[in-house]
Structure 1
Amino acid sequence: MRHTPFAQCAPRALTRLGLALTAFATLGFSAAANAAPTDFPDKPITVVVPFPAGGPTDASARLFARAMGDNLGQPIVVDNRAGAAGTVGSAWVARAGADGYTLLWGGTSTLAVAPKLYKNLKYDAKSFIPVGMALRGPLMLAGRQGLAPNTLPELLKYAKDQALTVGSAGNGSIGHLATEYLKERAHIPLTHVPYRGGSPAITDALGGQIDLVFDTAAALAPYIKSGKLKAYAVTGAQPYAPLPQVALMKSAVDGYEAYSWFGLVAPANTPAPVVQKLSQAFAKAAQSDEVRRELAATGVEPGVAGAAEFAKVIGADFAKWSALITRANVRADD
């Protein structure tokens, strides 16, 4: 049966996406369930991280892989398949066998943004079934030293009459979308400057070539702590633990909230008992002392509990960011 890609969903269908994903996560697929092996897993499992090795995304995947492997009695191997903003590795998993032995470490950009942002994407709304959400972290808006405003209210007032530039990791990145969301909700004119990754954007903010940078709080926190950049706001629902003094964006911009999150998904049609076993191992891993300690050390929040709740997060964020991409006419980098 042909699946309709995220990018071709009608607007009214977006509100149904969360329910559809929840149904997948809760019910699974009965036909596949009948064929599920009772001795799963009986060999190593591969988790594809669609980004380069060595970064925070890779580190979180390896943390959960170790804990899950211990719970399942089989090693879990992390395979980094980077390219095209994470869509290469994601598409590869979507085409993999639906047997529970090849999984994807998916996130906001690959599961909630890419299906709307990219044309001719090789996966869609029905390509994956959620296993569990690992973590979520807020974004942060930071500015160069020497920028006149020192507080969020001052910045918002200042930005109304100034041509401020905001750097992000690229067109269609979560930092770009957060910038467009701020422009829309705060009614301020900002000029987005796309970079090929977050590090170059931060470097230019440090050097004063741009006024502001929007990235994850974890990426910007070291520069705030060292005094090299000014923190104006974080986009979470609660204060960012490593820098609790930083204002919440929603304190000055009504309804503003944005997160970058990651979790584990399996190819669609993976047998329901296999998904259930993976979800149980994932939930146990999330509660382990090592995982909780490591997540707390990086300042990120634990993910929502359960595959069905993760499905709701994916659906809600897809609807939110898809609508914004349309309204702001966001285009991906070539």
Structure 2
Amino acid sequence: MLTEIQTFTMTPLRSAALAGVAFALLATTIPAKAQETDWPTRTVTVVVPFAAGGNTDIMARVASQKLAEDLKQPFVVENRAGAGGAIAANYVLQAAPDGYTIFFAAAPQIAVLPHVQKVNYDPIKDFTPVSAFGTGPFILAISSENPAKTVAEFVASAKGKKLNYASGGTGSVSHLSGALFVARSGIDCAHIPYKGGAPAMTALLGGQVDMYFGNAADIIPFVDSGKARIIAVAADKRMSQLPDVPTVSETYPDFSLSSWNGFLVSSKTPKAIVDKLAKYAIAAAKDPAVVDKLHKLGVEANGTTPAEIAAQIAREQPQFDLAIKAADLKQAQ
């Protein structure tokens, strides 16, 4: 009888205790779940490491507009140019790692800058790659006054001469592409850096330099007008916009310096936010209207996962290392 009474009175107590445990467990999961579903609840700042108007800036604005539409919160682009992108990178890392300050980076901030000068960040340990949004291959242009139609013809005509090549700045992908080409081809060609792609292109058109690796957006308009000629693309495969133009790799194998742009965040950012940003960034890059806008810039839309962009960064680093060596840039100590 006593056993029956004990059983009767203890069962509700056990039930209450179990209910308390269940509630406690539920309470601990609520913040993470809310974080996953609620972010963003206010304005997100997208930090661009270059001045307004360039390819990176334009891509950041295209991406930000789409993210704002889909996530129902403002995504505001903030340009923080200087020190090759180190200023922007440090700014992002100094902000709270809560997903409200994100980095729309370019390959040089990860693959080049930390290897040629002292910076206050570790590109691998301090940042989490989220998604590559678009890749704009650099294309090799020469003056239309030069009769060469192919890489082989250009190199043959350059033998025994002293030439110059332009870039959008020391340490830029433009510079590294030119340096690697000079090293692989064996021509005598000096580097002339300019403050951006537009003045570099102007120098090519004016005859101050003999060749220039630049963005398609900087070069194609002048090709269409007959003032310049494209002889190769520094990419793994031919561009859909220029299907008849061969890659440099067709003459010099394994010649490709990817000029990707995409989202990175502080490595301290919660995974739930990283995953959600990646999900929407991937969707944005695959949106037909966005793909069309990027195509007109000479940019291939990507939309890679965090794992894919991390693997891409690791895979491409050896090629950047070769280009850094070819450019004789001082390695960071």
1:321 Cα deviation from its structure 2 partner = 1.3
Q: Percent identical across equivalent pairs?
A: 35
Give the corresponding residue for 2:301. Answer: 302
Q: Does 1:114 align with 2:113?
A: yes
Give the corresponding residue for 1:23. Answer: none
The whole-number CA distance in structure 1 between the counterparts of 2:102 and 2:199 is: 31
Q: Contact 1:221–1:243 at 8 Å: present in 2 too?
A: no
The whole-number CA distance in structure 2 between the counterparts of 1:145 and 1:111 is: 35
Give the corresponding residue for 1:235. Answer: 234
Q: Summarize the alignment of residues 1-334 of structure 1 with structure 2, pairs less than 5 Å apart.
A: 39-303=38-302, 305-326=304-325, 328-331=327-330
Q: Pick the structure with greater CA Rg.
A: 2
The whole-number CA distance in structure 2 between the counterparts of 1:182 and 1:272 is: 40
Q: SS of the counterpart of 1:106?
A: strand
Structure with higher RCO (Cα < 8 A, 6+ apart): 1
1:122 Cα deviation from its structure 2 partner = 4.2
Q: SS of the counterpart of 2:130?
A: strand
The whole-number CA distance in structure 2 between the counterparts of 1:231 and 1:99 is: 44
The whole-number CA distance in structure 2 between the counterparts of 1:254 and 1:289 is: 33
Q: SS of the counterpart of 1:143?
A: strand
1:220 Cα deviation from its structure 2 partner = 1.0
Give the corresponding residue for 1:21. Answer: none
The whole-number CA distance in structure 2 between the counterparts of 1:110 and 1:70 is: 28
The whole-number CA distance in structure 1 between the counterparts of 2:219 and 2:45 is: 31
RMSD between superposed Cα atoms in Å: 2.2
CA deviations on 1:6-43 (whole Å, 9 max, x unpaired) are xxxxxxxxxxxxxxxxxxxxxxxxxx979956522221
The whole-number CA distance in structure 2 between the counterparts of 1:244 and 1:112 is: 28
The whole-number CA distance in structure 2 between the counterparts of 1:91 and 1:316 is: 25
The whole-number CA distance in structure 1 between the counterparts of 2:169 and 2:243 is: 28
Q: Contact 2:47–2:103 at 8 Å: present in 1 too?
A: yes
Q: SS of the counterpart of 1:259?
A: coil
Structure 2 residue runs without a partner (length 5+): 1-30
Structure 1 residue runs without a partner (length 5+): 1-31
Q: Which runs of 4+ in 1 moved over 3 A?
A: 32-38, 120-124
CA deviations on 1:197-227 (whole Å, 9 max, x unpaired) are 2222211111111111121222111111111
Look up the equivalent residue of 1:91 and give its one-letter code: N
Q: Contact 1:53–1:80 at 8 Å: present in 2 too?
A: yes
> What TM-score, normalized to structure 2?
0.84
1:320 Cα deviation from its structure 2 partner = 2.4
1:251 Cα deviation from its structure 2 partner = 1.5
CA deviations on 1:160-195 (whole Å, 9 max, x unpaired) are 322121111122111111112112322333221122
Look up the equivalent residue of 1:207 and give its one-letter code: G
